[in-house]
């Protein structure tokens, strides 16, 4: 498991690639959960209660389900660090179950795919391959679905959100051994983000065939209103 700061960063990235809705659910919980990931237990509790209440009223609310699942997954990491293995495994199982069910309910919803993908791609970095690779495959798949749905019009993406999306797909495929697919997406990074830090990382991977885990961490957060369609 990685640090809460890095999870905060990736889920913050999630909020800038979501499709707009009249009233977005993530606006109700994201600041509370971000504060929770940074150690504010009261904020975490409030965010989880909002998600739980939403699900009580609407059991198949996919966004509430994926955010609550992400919160439970984070809590499993805290339990692992405390050595509470049984509790950690139960929380992880419940969290992944909720996130996976959310994607089953709304497979074309960017607001569901990106949060799950962000959590799984990050978490897989701190796990042995036997445990992490299945999560990584799902996470990369989530990002690929979002890219395919939105690649025709990139005008709404910030540099950060586009870079993190493409980097997640490219590096994730590289880590899974899909080198040709990784190469394809690192080349897209170069083409779409010339002169940026993302292009430099793509250049390095294309020259050396790898990046360190630190080099693929989220490069910052933009928590303002998303610009994407």
The two tokens of residue 58 are 């609407």
Q: Are 111 and 99 in contact (CB under 8 A)?
A: no
Q: How far apart are CA 174 and CA 184, in angstroms?
A: 10
pLDDT at 43 over 60: yes
The two tokens of residue 183 are 């190469």
pLDDT tens-digit series, residues 138-183: 999 999 999 999 999 998 889 999 999 999 999 999 999 999 999 9
pLDDT at 101: 98
pLDDT at 155: 87
Q: What is the CATH number of domain 4-216?
A: 1.25.40
Cα dihedral across residues 199, 204, 182, 71: positive or negative: negative
Q: How far apart are CA 8 and CA 28, in angstroms?
A: 16
pLDDT tens-digit series, residues 187-223: 999 999 999 999 999 999 999 998 887 888 766 543 3
pLDDT at 221: 43
Q: Are 11 and 37 in contact (CB under 8 A)?
A: yes
pLDDT at 228 over 60: no
Q: How far apart are CA 160 and CA 179, in angstroms?
A: 24
pLDDT tens-digit series, residues 71-125: 999 999 999 999 999 999 999 999 999 999 999 999 999 999 999 999 999 899 8
Q: Where are the beta strands (DSSP E) in 42-142?
A: none
pTM as predicted: 0.84
């Amino acid at each position: 498991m990685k640090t809460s700061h890095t999870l905060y960063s990736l889920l913050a990235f999630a909020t800038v690639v979501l499709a707009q809705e009249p009233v977005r659910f993530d606006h109700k919980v994201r600041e509370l959960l971000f504060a929770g990931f940074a150690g504010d237990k009261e904020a975490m509790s409030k965010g989880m209660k909002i998600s739980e209440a939403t699900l009580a009223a609407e059991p198949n609310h996919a966004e509430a389900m994926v955010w609550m699942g992400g919160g439970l997954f984070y809590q499993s990491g805290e339990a692992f660090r405390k050595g509470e293995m049984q509790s950690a495994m139960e929380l992880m199982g419940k969290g992944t179950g909720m996130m996976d069910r959310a994607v089953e309910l709304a497979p074309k919803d960017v607001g569901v795919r990106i949060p799950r993908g962000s959590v799984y791609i990050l978490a897989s970095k701190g796990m042995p391959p036997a445990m992490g690779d299945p999560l990584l495959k799902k996470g990369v798949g989530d990002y690929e679905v979002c890219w395919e749905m939105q690649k025709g019009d990139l005008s709404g993406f910030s540099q950060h959100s586009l870079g993190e999306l493409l980097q997640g797909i490219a590096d994730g495929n590289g880590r899974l051994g899909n080198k040709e697919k990784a190469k394809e997406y690192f080349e897209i990074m170069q083409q779409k983000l010339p002169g940026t830090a993302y292009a430099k990382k793509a250049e390095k991977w294309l020259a050396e065939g790898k990046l360190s885990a630190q080099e693929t961490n989220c490069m910052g957060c933009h928590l303002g209103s998303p610009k994407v369609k």
